Structure 1
Amino acid sequence: MSDLILNIQGVTKAYNHGKPNAVTVLQGVDLQVQKGEVVALVAPSGAGKSTLLHIAGLLDTPDAGQVSISGVDMTDLGDRKRTSARRNQVGFIYQFHHLLPEFSALENITLPQLANGVAQGAAQSRAQALLDQVGVGARANHRPAALSGGEQQRVAFCRALANQPRLLLADEPTGNLDPGTSDVVFAALMDLVRDTGLSAVIATHNLELAARMDRTVRLDQGKIVP
């Protein structure tokens, strides 16, 4: 079996595709990520990194090119199969935590598992174990409003890993945090990723954080550049 978890080949994407006011965002992007590899995606604002992550995570479709996850071509799957693949194989982390405010930290991590058919007891046990692993286990019953920014983002990390994905995609996951908190929270994320053997693509402007990953790729004007 191949160790290639994510394989993006020749992906192009334009908004208003085929119209005179079309804006090309991605121009023939190739990106491969091996099993257990953590790749930093460094890009200036507007270069297309969010679009690339959305296509990699099956939230958007390319105009041309191919996206494969774990050796399966996902490019032309129907909505139901894409949703299933996304739910089971991909975890997302955004710059803002997007936790459900009416639920506790534990519940925010339990709910995605319940939606995926996991029994409640097992889902709660996994949620608590993940919270313990990132150092916020004692805050499990607090709602997001009662958590600090760093705690909220660590809960979001746990939620992204709740269904044991094979690929993690993160878009500036510490971008809203002060430098000191960012360093602590990023270390917690890397520990989670390493302990689970995940493959990950993490977009960041922070070159110091990028240097702590296995490899850095740069996206500029819609292309991967040296």
Structure 2
Amino acid sequence: MGLQWTLISCFLYFEIGLCVLFMLPFISPQVWRKIFKSRLLSFLSNFSYFYVRLLMLGLGVAFLSSISQLRKYDIDSDKLEDVTLSMPGAAQNYHIHLLRAQRNFYISGFTLFLWMILNRIVQLITAQAQLQADLKATHKQALSANEVANKLLNDSSSSGIQDTRNDKEENLANSEKEDATKNLEALKTKLEKAEDELCEAKTELKQTQTDLMTMKSQSEATKCEYDRLLEEYSVLQKKIQQDSNKKDH
């Protein structure tokens, strides 16, 4: 494996590690939001903006190059048989080059795909943390408005035994009570809306995590298939060498 593909593989493993870290249940979205908003991470994000874009451009070029290599070694089976008859070792060389092209294609493709998934996961975690903060603040406002409404209700009930000189104050208390009730209803509506948005964000995040686990399983299966084909190639190569030695003797 060349140096560039080794670096891309290391970056792919780094992305998989980040995805697994984001999926840990004991780290709350509020903690991740504080980390994302920290000064150190903000400084690193601003400083590495250009280099990250340059890295994505390099990954795109590597992905297109792997596609070109796949098309280069994509030949018909009839042509491959003709080449095998004329040059016995050409088929093995063809298969090893094809396996390398497929490996490079999967590595670069999964790296780009995981980068997009990571960006989406960060957005969902940030949105979920914001919704939880809004939900908590709205809940506190609703409780406060409810306490004010109950207090005004008790005050208006106790003032009913006073004489007609307190009618003006009673009307004012009733008006404040109605305003507090309206505010309470508005806060309840906002609270219900925030809960719905939070549920949608959790559902989308769960779907993204499921897609990530599926992709990880496919990547491991591809790696196992590559190792198996490489072992078969080694066995065939040893067999060809043994046949060549027998012919020489």
TM range (shorter): under 0.3
Larger helix share, 1 or 2: 2
Larger strand share, 1 or 2: 1
- Higher Rg of the two aligned structures: 2
TM-score (norm 1): 0.24
